[in-house]
A = this chain, B = another copy of it.
Amino acid sequence: MKNTSDEPSGLRERKRRETLGRIAEAGLQLFVKKGYEETTLENIAAAAGVSRRTLFYYFKSKEDILLAWQGSGFAQALHPTMLQESPDQFPLDAARECLLKLASRLETKESIAVDGLLRSSEALRARKEAAYVELEHSLLNAMLELWPDPTKRNAHRVTAMVAIGTLRLALESWREEGGQPSLAHHISRHFDLLKHQV
């Protein structure tokens, strides 16, 4: 009979998670060491102790093996974290606070390594930009729960776009300046710029 609970915890599930982890780790390690293009799926499969075909059982593409590391859970945490904000503020201010709380997740070794790799080809750079649009959607959905006014949908879209766009610029600037000072600082400064420009 099928197990309908959320998290089955048998041997099968454990091995599954282990294999998934081995593949993701072997992938990231090789990408960092040899470069993304220079690493073949054959390489990853060998390092993970699995057949090439099995890679596609766990990931739908080579890119996905890299993207699995993106943002250290930033994307997953965005929605719930935003929901914790009080609705007694302007949406943009709430978004700002939320992003500040999550900033540390983007300051990890993995995040930085992955970000470097995401610059190494057109296709990967494009994926990175697309990821921001995903964040925008997560943020928008949380906003729609916090301020459930159907007539403000477009306004919220604009707010989410501005907030995530500001995060993107802050990250860029943080990197350009070699991680100095903290990312949170850059985010704050960029949100301040916003008020003066718009």
A189–B158 Cα gap in the complex (Å)? 11
A32 contacts the other chain (CB 8 A) = no
Q: B123 contacts A198, CB within 8 Å?
A: no
A122–B195 Cα gap in the complex (Å)? 34
A190–B161 Cα gap in the complex (Å)? 12
A133–B127 Cα gap in the complex (Å)? 12
Q: A198 contacts B155, CB within 8 Å?
A: no
Q: B133 contacts A129, CB within 8 Å?
A: yes
A159–B127 Cα gap in the complex (Å)? 23
Q: A197 contacts B130, CB within 8 Å?
A: no
A52 contacts the other chain (CB 8 A) = no
> Which chain B residues border A197 with CB–CB below 8 Å?
91-92, 155, 158-159, 162
A124–B49 Cα gap in the complex (Å)? 32
User: Which residues in A have some Cβ–Cβ distance to B below 8 Å?
Assistant: 91-92, 122-123, 125-127, 129-130, 132-133, 154-155, 157-159, 161-162, 165-166, 168-169, 173, 189-190, 193-198
Given known contacts A126-B126, A126-B129, A129-B132, what 18 new A-B pairs fall within 8 Å (CB)?
Answer: A91-B197, A122-B130, A129-B130, A130-B130, A154-B169, A154-B173, A155-B196, A157-B169, A158-B166, A158-B190, A158-B194, A158-B197, A161-B169, A162-B165, A162-B194, A162-B197, A195-B198, A198-B198
